[in-house]
Amino acid sequence: MVFLSTLLALLQNPTLHYLDTPLPGPGPTGVFSPMAIQPGSDICFGTVTSANGTQSPALQMIRGGAGNLPLLPGHTLGQVTALGYNPNEQFPAGISSDTSGHSRGVFWALNSSGTWVPNDIGDLGGGNVQILGSDQEGDWLCGWADVFSSNGQAIPRPFVYNIIQSVIIDLNPGYQSESKSFDCDIDSNGKVTAVGHIYSYLQHPSAAIFEPGQAPSLLGGTGGLSSTAYAIDEDHIVGESSTQAGGVFHAISWQAPNYLAVDLGTLGGSESRATSVSGLMVYGQAQIPSGEWRACYWDLSLPTAPFAQELSSLPAISTAQLSNVRAPNGTTMLLADGKNAQGNFGFVLEEFQLEVPPSMSPGTSYSLQASPILSGEVVYFGGALSLGSTVVPPVPGLLSDLHQPRLLGVGVGSSPSSEVNITVVAPPLGSGTPLYFQALTIQRGQVSTLGRASIL
């Protein structure tokens, strides 16, 4: 689970990366949509959509470099939809398809020569399989797989796949209508739970919870006939539900233990959907009054009812128009789709953070580190004995969280995304005295996360 304070800091202080590196031939070139990112690395996995609409799985480095991921023999289309994990490595997972639309669930692993190789996870007897999500730790993958009915009809069933044991489990055995899972989570006792939808005899999807060996549990909606759950994180499930008025869809959250549906609203337009959740932060997209889609988030920790907030209104991304955003498992980065004046892009929003030692001895030197910093960007480091709200004169509207801060040093970025360090000497103050630090860049008009240390 990602801590709420960290995600709030990310929303206030993002660094935006454009994922626009052209993919090398002979694979397709086009718009890269990021779906997963390896925590602690620059490797971002996603799907490239070419001009004619075909899709191919690929990886891109946040700071340059790209490559196609191979497909199963005879397949030409594919997507990356999740990130898996085993004791030795992290790897992308998703879908490999042929031109006839037959699909298989795959994960890609590096072989001894450092080449990505697709691995088929198997099926439930019907053939078509799609991986659509994974749990926070990445031990489980989920999605849907076809089974055949008594009359030979292919019926999608939800499944979970255990990566360590290489076992695929039918989550709704015997059901004779479509049901699918889109995300899963594992609790502290090792119990895996998936969420998705079940089609009823009325042929409308109903949001549902799936657990191995248990009958599915249906989640209520907001008055309409249809609903789908897209993501789960511990006690929170999010998705969409049709409303009673007009049948439009709104983003929905359900919270344990009673799972009452809460309508999350829109950005003034007709519809919205929530597609990922991390802690108490929900992410997705919503329509503005013109009908265009915008990336947005909802803060479930607010004492009032949660409301949609547009991500594109943040200063760091005022030049980009984001249409959707995702919070991938196991990281504090956000992945988004959008465009600017130059065209369509994939985006990564990375936290502008300041690292400080938790404690300091008077008279001893310590390092403060800010990252990521752009090449040539000037970074100012400040310190204070208390918190407040201080205007930064060169940037209207930019506020530091320090009260009467003192300038401690200045650094300059040396590469497209670098770390900048300065050395400070702890002041001669009494034991237990708190010290507060913050970095800021005037070029981006941003302040970093807040650093705190105590005098020993």
CATH at 99: 2.130.10.10
Q: Measured between alpha carbons, how far is 355 from 60 in angstroms, rounded to an integer? A: 27
- Rounded to an integer, what is the distance from CA 338 to the centroid of its chain? 15
How large a percentage of the chain has pLDDT more than 90? 43
Query: Starting from the edge strand earliest in sequence, which strands make up the sheet with 66-68, in order?
Result: 30-37, 43-50, 55-61, 66-68
Mean of pLDDT values over 69-96: 88
DSSP assigned state of 70: P
Q: What pLDDT digit, counting tens, does each position of 343-375 carry? A: 788 887 777 788 999 999 999 999 999 887 877
Give all strands (DSSP E) within 200-352, no chain letters. 205-210, 217-218, 223-233, 236-243, 249-255, 260-265, 272-278, 281-287, 293-299, 309-310, 321-326, 334-340, 343-351
52 vs 64 pLDDT, higher one: 52
Mean of pLDDT values over 418-430: 91
6 vs 141 pLDDT, higher one: 141
How large a percentage of the chain has pLDDT more than 70? 85
- 338 and 443 in one domain? no
Q: How confident is the model at residue 205 (pLDDT cuts 50, 70, 90)?
A: very high
Of 323, 351, 379, at which residue does a domain stop?
Answer: 351
pLDDT of the residue at 217: 93
Q: How confident is the model at residue 2 (pLDDT cuts 50, 70, 90)?
A: very low
Of the ranges 24-28, 289-293, 391-395, 437-441, which one carries the lowest mean pLDDT score? 24-28
33 vs 29 pLDDT, higher one: 33
- 359 and 322 in one domain? no
- 251 and 119 in one domain? yes
- 125 and 14 in one domain? yes
Residue 320: name the closest of 297, 348, 280 by CA: 348
pLDDT of the residue at 402: 86
Helix (H) / strand (E) element for 12: namely helix 4-12
Of 295, 321, 351, at which residue does a domain stop?
Answer: 351
Q: How confident is the model at residue 1 (pLDDT cuts 50, 70, 90)?
A: very low
27 vs 57 pLDDT, higher one: 57
Of the ranges 92-106, 122-136, 384-398, which one carries the lowest mean pLDDT score? 384-398
Tally Cβ neighbours within 10 Å of residue 415.
12
- 132 and 110 in one domain? yes
Mean of pLDDT values over 90-98: 91
pLDDT of the residue at 132: 95
- 347 and 360 in one domain? no
Mean of pLDDT values over 61-72: 80
Q: Residue 177 pLDDT more than 50?
A: yes
- 390 and 310 in one domain? no
Q: Measured between alpha carbons, how far is 79 from 68 in angstroms, rounded to an integer? A: 11
pLDDT of the residue at 433: 94
The answer to whether 235 and 256 are in contact (CB under 8 A) is yes
Q: Residue 12 pLDDT more than 80?
A: no
- 366 and 420 in one domain? yes
In the chain, the number of structural domains is 2
**Which of 45-59, 98-112, 304-318 has the largest mean confidence?**
98-112
- 424 and 333 in one domain? no
pLDDT of the residue at 220: 84
Residue 447 belongs to domain spanning: 354-455
The CATH number covering residue 450 comes to: 2.60.40
Mean of pLDDT values over 381-389: 88
- 186 and 119 in one domain? yes
Q: What pLDDT digit, counting tens, does each position of 428-448 carry? A: 999 999 999 988 887 766 777
Is residue 261 helix, strand or coil?
strand
Q: Measured between alpha carbons, how far is 122 from 106 in angstroms, rounded to an integer? A: 9
- 134 and 56 in one domain? yes
Of 289, 320, 351, at which residue does a domain stop?
Answer: 351
Question: Which tokens sit at 101?
Answer: 């639309």
pLDDT of the residue at 58: 86
Tally Cβ neighbours within 10 Å of residue 309.
14
Residue 325: name the closest of 279, 290, 275 by CA: 275
Q: Residue 317 pLDDT more than 60?
A: no
The reported pTM is 0.80
Of the ranges 3-12, 123-132, 434-443, which one carries the lowest mean pLDDT score? 3-12
pLDDT of the residue at 25: 46
- 310 and 387 in one domain? no
Q: Is 127 left (phi over 0), alpha (psi -120 to 50) or beta?
A: left
Mean pLDDT across the chain: 84
Q: Residue 335 pLDDT more than 90?
A: no
